[in-house]
Amino acid sequence: MSKKVLTTPIKDEDLKDIQIGDIIYLTGTLVTCRDVAHRRLIEEKMPLPVDLKGNAIFHAGPIVRDLGNEEYEIVSIGPTTSMRMEKFEKEFIEETGVKLIVGKGGMGKNTEEGCKTHKALHLVFPAGNAVYAATSVKQIKEVHWKDLGMPESLWVCEVNEFGPLIVSIDTEGNNIFEENKIEFNKKKEEQYELISQQVRFIK
């Protein structure tokens, strides 16, 4: 199977045949955007200083080396828990027109709805692989909201074949983590019954 690469700006039709469990790669603009940036746009009504239409965001807080003269280098970059942004993500997609949300772990009903209505994807970059990820960041083009500190600033990155990105929510609103959870919970109940019989140490 050939490598599926998406290039920004991404249009609705680029995403229509992509399903949960597929693996894609990204070339173009990827902006780090996490807790406080989401809160600022949605709750504090502060306009985002970057245009995200057709682009991708990354729930990530990188380690960045300051080279001086407003030049920076990514040392390590990887995803953080996406679920923390669940509360904001539907409105975030609506307001920004962002097409890809890259992070870690699953997201919930709000994001499913946002992805379905506005044709966007949530993707998982295998977490903890921050040097591997850094090698596909070609450069940091801009940085905004530096007052939030290194992890929370908006680092605008130019990436080349960034991935593997595993599709966790597709444009139909299917959600791989929610599907898995049903199976996990069923197995958990079975295991509880099995184990609890064998740990009756208080007699």
Among all residues, which ones are annotated catalytic?
Answer: 38
As a dihedral over the C-alpha atoms of residue 86, residue 88, residue 93, residue 99, rounded to 10 degrees, the angle is -40
Q: According to CB under 8 A, which one of 18, 140, 157, 176 is a site residue for other proteins?
A: 176
Site size for other proteins (CB under 8 A): 55
Question: Residue 101, Cα to own-chain centre: how many angstroms?
Answer: 4
Q: Looking at this protein, which amino acid is placed at residue 65?
A: R
Q: Tell me if 199 contacts other proteins by CB under 8 A.
A: yes
- DSSP strand E in 105-177: where? 121-124, 137-144, 154-169
Q: How far apart are CA 18 and CA 129, in angstroms?
A: 24
Among 3, 53, 138, 181, binds other proteins (CB under 8 A): 181
Spatial separation of the C-alpha atoms in residues 203 and 200, rounded to whole Å:
7
Site string for other proteins, 86-105 (x = CB under 8 A): ------------------xx
Measure the CA–CA gap between 198 and 26, rounded to whole angstroms.
Answer: 49
Look at residue 17 and give its three-state secondary structure. coil
Residue of 16, 138, 141, 188 interacting with other proteins (CB under 8 A) = 188
185 binds other proteins (CB under 8 A): yes
Closest contact distance (angstroms) between CB of 9 and other proteins is 27
What are the start-end ranges of the H helices in the chain? 12-15, 35-42, 86-96, 109-118, 130-134, 176-196
Given candidates 5, 25, 39, 63, which one binds other proteins under the rule CB under 8 A?
Answer: 63
Among 55, 80, 136, 171, binds other proteins (CB under 8 A): 80
* Residue 3 touches other proteins, criterion: CB under 8 A: no
Query: Which residues of the chain form contacts with other proteins (CB under 8 A)?
Result: 21, 23, 60-63, 65, 75-78, 80-83, 104-106, 124, 126-132, 134-135, 148-152, 164, 166, 176-177, 180-181, 183-185, 187-188, 190-192, 194-196, 198-202
